[in-house]
Amino acid sequence: MTARLHDDRGLPPGYPFREGWEVSPLAARDELSAADPPVLLDVRRADEWEIVRLPGAVHIPLSELERRADELEDDDGRRDRPVIVYCHHGARSLRAAAALRAMGFADVRSMAGGIDLWATTVEPGMRRY
């Protein structure tokens, strides 16, 4: 018998999921396919963005986030739109989620495991690096 690669949420066994701060790639996929989806924010570097990206994502590298955060506001300048942030493995996106919350964005979560976990659970065959 082989060990399971992912739990029911699509997370690796023992993944230290941060409830309220993270969303699994499977849950993110479902939210992104809803009638009123959250903003999908990619905070990876430009060279990573060129390798692979998720459709519909807004690209603001983490190093530019403070300066460009207003691009995530709604048309009325409010910061209450839900945002899902992703990076390669999930560390930078957690930092970005914390920074955005500190800037007044009310509903921000990091995608657990980043685009790499997305590629293994949601979109097998997606280019990985």
Look up the CATH number of the domain holding residue 45. Answer: 3.40.250.10
- The residues, any chain, with a CB within 8 Å of residue 107's CB and separated by 6 or more, are 38, 80, 81, 82, 83
Residue 103 inside a domain? The answer is yes
- pLDDT band (50, 70, 90) for residue 4: low
Q: What's the number of domains the chain is made of? A: 1
Q: Is residue 54 domain-resident?
A: yes
What does DSSP say about strands 22-23 and 58-59: parallel, antiparallel, or unpaired? unpaired
Q: Quote the pLDDT of residue 3.
A: 54
Look up the pTM and report it: 0.94
Task: For residue 45, give its domain range.
Answer: 32-121
From residue 87, how far is each of 2, 10, 77, 78, 105 by CA, in Å?
30, 17, 25, 24, 18
Confidence of residue 39 (pLDDT cuts 50, 70, 90): very high
DSSP-assigned beta bridge partners for residue 59: 42
User: Which amino acid is residue 10, in one-letter code?
Assistant: G
**CB within 8 A of 22, min separation 6: which ones?**
90, 94, 109, 110, 111, 112
pLDDT in tens, 53-88: 999 999 999 999 999 999 999 889 999 999 999 999
- In a domain, residue 19? The reply is no
